Amino acid sequence: MAEVNLLKVVKRYEEVEAVRGIDLDIADHEFVVLVGPSGCGKSTTLRMIAGLEDISDGEIRIGGDVVNDVPPKDRDIAMVFQNYALYPHMTVAENMSFGLRLKRYPKPEIKARVEEAARILDITELLDRKPKQLSGGQRQRVAMGRAIVRHPKVFLFDEPLSNLDAKLRVQMRTEIKKVHQKVRTTTVYVTHDQVEAMTLADRVVVMNQGRIEQVGSPNELYHKPATRFVASFIGSPAMNFIPCELEESDGRLRVRLTSELSLPVPDSRRARYQSLKSNGRLLLGLRPEHITEMRPHLGPDMVPFEAHIEVTEPMGMETLVYFAINGTQVCGRVNPNAGARENSSMQLAADLGQMHLIDDETGRVI
């Protein structure tokens, strides 16, 4: 097992720069998820770590050794692909042992390792089957088994759950987490699904347009996003962004959303935003769960306001309500029993203790 370091790594395809100089240190045993929209460079980064793509510039280290020119087979890594990439003519056991057989491991050891991996993944009874006799979830397990038997320094996962249906995906997500808890191999995992990223990762790396937007624990990204992109990418439904102005009245700092609606900034945030008053274009960032129905006992930073509900989306455990503030659609999450009705007014409350202010020009969270 080993740590992985990326130093100013660049990938250029003729005219396009797919990865624009990223720095990333992945600790031993760590589970890191690269997440971002398609074309953000996350898969390219993973393939560069695997050695399937050359590096245009910079340096990649695995276990302290620079591997820029080391071929994939000598990097001691294992990769799980989106479409499983199982060898169709081999049985499950042969698939899993292929790498070991190429390296001429003694037969008893190969057998022991395959059986151990099969036990971890609960596929012992499938060992003699061919891939086409397996379901999607089983194939994914075999693909993971093929990685586990090698006892590599690093596991690389390239969107491994994207081909599975929603239910199986949730199940396999838990499986992957369990496997990682058992084998503790350093893991780099690529996905475009922020839920997968949040649930699996020790640390999440949010990428956008070939750059790293933010690196942090799932909680950090959720509660302290560094940029508007991260704030909108993490969390579902996405964070609301409402154009606003800062003003001071009656000795209190307020966020003005419309001519009628201005919300007081909590004292805890006052110091941070004090200097921004003159600044022009700002966005108020507020997650849907921080806009709830009016309750009898509001927290200290909860501010009541009235909204005209346009659309409701009952989800069972909660109801999403959509309304407009100055032409911007805003989403809130209310209790299903709160009586939200379409085309009617409703008393809501915003938790400004959880607010973010975003500079609309730079996209940075202040």
Residue among 7, 52, 70, 168 that touches another protein (CB under 8 A): 52
CA torsion, points 265, 271, 273, 279, in degrees to nearest 10?
130
Question: Residue 230 and residue 217: Cα distance in Å, rounded?
Answer: 13
Residues 301-320 binding another protein (CB under 8 A) are: none
Dist. CA 316–CA 314, nearest whole Å: 6
Q: Which is nearer to another protein, 158 or 351 (CB)?
A: 158
Give whichever of 154 and 255 is closer to another protein, judged by the CB atom.
Answer: 154
Q: How many residues bind another protein (CB under 8 A)?
A: 23
**71: CB partners within 8 A, 6+ apart:** 51
**Binding residues among 12-51 for another protein as defined by CB under 8 A:** 50-51
Q: How far is the CB of 89 from another protein (least distance, A)?
A: 4
User: Which residues, 63 to 122, sit near another protein by CB under 8 A?
Assistant: 71-73, 77-79, 81-83, 85-89, 98-99, 102-103
In the complex, the smallest distance separating the C-beta of residue 288 from another protein, rounded to whole angstroms, is 38
* Contact residues for 121 (Cβ-Cβ < 8 A; gap 6+): 141, 142, 144, 145, 148, 175, 179
Shortest separation between residue 72's beta carbon and another protein, angstroms: 5
Q: Which amino acid appears at position 8 of this protein?
A: K
Residue 12: CB atoms within 10 Å:
15
Q: Which of residues 118-177 bind another protein (CB under 8 A)?
A: 146, 150
CB of 16 to another protein, least distance (A): 17
Write down the least CB distance from residue 42 to another protein, Å. 17
* Residue whose CB is less far from another protein, 18 or 230: 18
Reference 330, options 288, 283, 360, 295; nearest CA is: 288
Q: Would you say 88 or 327 has its CB closer to another protein?
A: 88
Q: Of 50 and 346, which CB lies nearer to another protein in the complex structure?
A: 50
Task: In angstroms, give the least distance from the CB of 237 to another protein.
Answer: 34
Which C-beta is closer to another protein: that of 150 or that of 333?
150
Determine whether 301 is exposed, middle or buried from the number of CB atoms within 10 Å of its CB (0-12, 13-18, 19+): buried
In the complex, the smallest distance separating the C-beta of residue 49 from another protein, rounded to whole angstroms, is 11
CB 29 within 8 A of CB 185: yes
Contact 264, 352 (CB under 8 A): yes
Tokens describing residue 12? 């250029």
Min separation Cβ 109 and another protein, Å: 15
103 vs 270 by CB, closer to another protein: 103
Residue closer to another protein (CB basis): 98 or 305? 98
Phi, psi of 145 (to 5 degrees): -60, -40
Q: How far is CA 35 from CA 18, 192, 200, in A?
A: 15, 5, 11
| Residue ranges in contact with another protein by CB under 8 A | 50-52, 71-73, 77-79, 81-83, 85-89, 98-99, 102-103, 146, 150
